[in-house]
Amino acid sequence: MTTPAEGFWGPPTSTVDWCETNYEHFHHVAELFNSVSSLAMVFGGLLALVLHRRVLERRFLAAFAMLAVVGLGSIGFHATLRFQLQMLDELPMLYLALIMVYILVENRPQRRLGVWFPLALFAYAVLSTYLCAFTRGPLQFFLFQVSFASLEFFALARVYLIHRRSQDASARRLFQLGVSAYALAIVLWLSDIQLCPTLNEALPARGIPNPQFHAWWHVLVSCGFYALLMVIAHDRLKTLGQAPGVRWAGGIPFVRGHAPP
């Protein structure tokens, strides 16, 4: 977006500039709402890590930690709109999606596939990193979205299959909450891109502030992703022969499991 005055970080070098007026509130922060809302990912990842560090396998802990890294990268990206920090947002998103694909495919007590599968995921990560980091402009944005979305929708389809076969009412409710938040987040993300002139110019001209849909995307996708992760974790504990259960603390769900008697 056009800046009212050039901010601390200078003109944007990122390949995308979201629908929030740059440096509107602080000289050192390009997009305040998008930066602050990214804390939801950091909080969700760290909270899941703390609650499940002695409950789930390292693959899940890696996913939780990567979610927090995505949030930190997102804060840096939106605060500066520098291309280098954009990569610290987008590339961890790809790596998180690849971890999720591994968790969802290797979902039996013993390894299903050979060593070729993690190697294939690693090769995908290398290729995607190269394509995203060494291209510019709309092409870079397109390549990242294709790379990430293909993994994202594959993972969502696998979680839906978990939901279909689950007989646990609490896990099914978590899925419904998670996918609803995720779907609404995607709608707001698309609206922020497609309706930006209306949101950032027409509405303020009538005294209505920009609703900051991209910031709400951060919050909703964090909530949705966390809930869906709990569904996957619940299924994993069941697969490992434990008796999983969903518990709530302060409105936040987490899973526990124990060996059946």
What is the maximum alpha-carbon separation in the chain?
67
> 63-100 pLDDT, tens per residue?
999 999 999 999 999 999 999 999 999 999 999 999 99
The number of beta carbons lying within 10 Å of the beta carbon of residue 148 is: 19
For Cα atoms 28, 32, 37, give the angle at the middle one, nearest 5 degrees. 135
Annotated binding-site members for Ca(2+): 17-18, 20, 22, 31
Annotated binding-site members for Zn(2+): 78, 214, 218
> 164-198 pLDDT, tens per residue?
998 889 999 999 999 999 999 999 999 999 999 99
Torsion angle of C-alpha atoms 112, 116, 122, 124, degrees rounded to 10: -100
DSSP labels, 55-69: TS-HHHHHHHHHHHH
Query: Whole-model pTM?
Result: 0.90
Domains of the chain in start order, with CATH, are 32-258 (1.20.1070)
Q: Report the distance separating Cα 233 and Cα 147, nearest Å.
A: 25
Whether the CB-CB separation of 16 and 23 falls below 8 Å is answered with no
- 8 phi and psi angles, rounded to 5 deg: -60, -35
DSSP labels, 107-153: -SSS--S-THHHHHHHHHHHHHHHHHHS--HHHHHHHHHHHHHHHHH
Annotated binding-site members: 17-18, 20, 22, 31, 78, 214, 218
